[in-house]
């Protein structure tokens, strides 16, 4: 059974600092990962997609993937109060059957 693990938090970070969110996965064959942001009572919003080892940057967000350690992370630079949300890590099943396996999410609070 494929598993994706996240620390549920809450994680509190001062405004302007770097928020670091982590995720580990059980399936060594997993290829690709998504990060979603979910505000309370809302639907998940896609932030990043990563499938190669290393870093991928998009604005204030950087996703990091280390397949050897089965570890995915999301860094948020210059954290803003509007970044306060639950962040979900998801493992795509395999290309051709693309169901997502989600972690339980990390609740992030940015402190003004």
Interface with other proteins (CB under 8 A): 32, 34, 36, 42-46, 49, 51, 88, 90, 92, 95, 97-105
Residue 43 CB contacts under 8 Å (≥ 6 apart), including other chains: none
Closest by alpha carbon to 105, among 90, 93, 91? 90
Output the smallest distance, CB 17 to other proteins, in A: 26
Residue 73 DSSP SS3 = strand
Output the smallest distance, CB 102 to other proteins, in A: 4
Q: Of the two residues 25 and 34, which places its CB atom closer to other proteins in the complex?
A: 34
Output the smallest distance, CB 26 to other proteins, in A: 15
Q: Of the two residues 41 and 112, which places its CB atom closer to other proteins in the complex?
A: 41
Q: Of the two residues 8 and 66, which places its CB atom closer to other proteins in the complex?
A: 8
Other beta carbons less than 10 A from residue 17's beta carbon: 13
């Amino acid at each position: 059974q494929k598993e994706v693990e996240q620390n549920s938090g809450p994680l509190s970070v001062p405004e302007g600092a770097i928020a670091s969110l982590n995720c580990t996965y059980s399936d060594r064959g997993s290829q690709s990962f998504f990060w979603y942001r979910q505000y309370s009572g809302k639907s998940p919003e896609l932030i990043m997609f990563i499938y190669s080892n290393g870093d991928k940057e998009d604005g204030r967000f950087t996703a990091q993937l280390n397949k050897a350690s089965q570890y995915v992370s999301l860094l948020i630079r210059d954290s803003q109060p509007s970044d306060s949300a639950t962040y979900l890590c998801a493992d795509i099943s395999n290309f051709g059957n693309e169901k997502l396996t989600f972690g339980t999410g990390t609740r992030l609070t940015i402190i003004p």
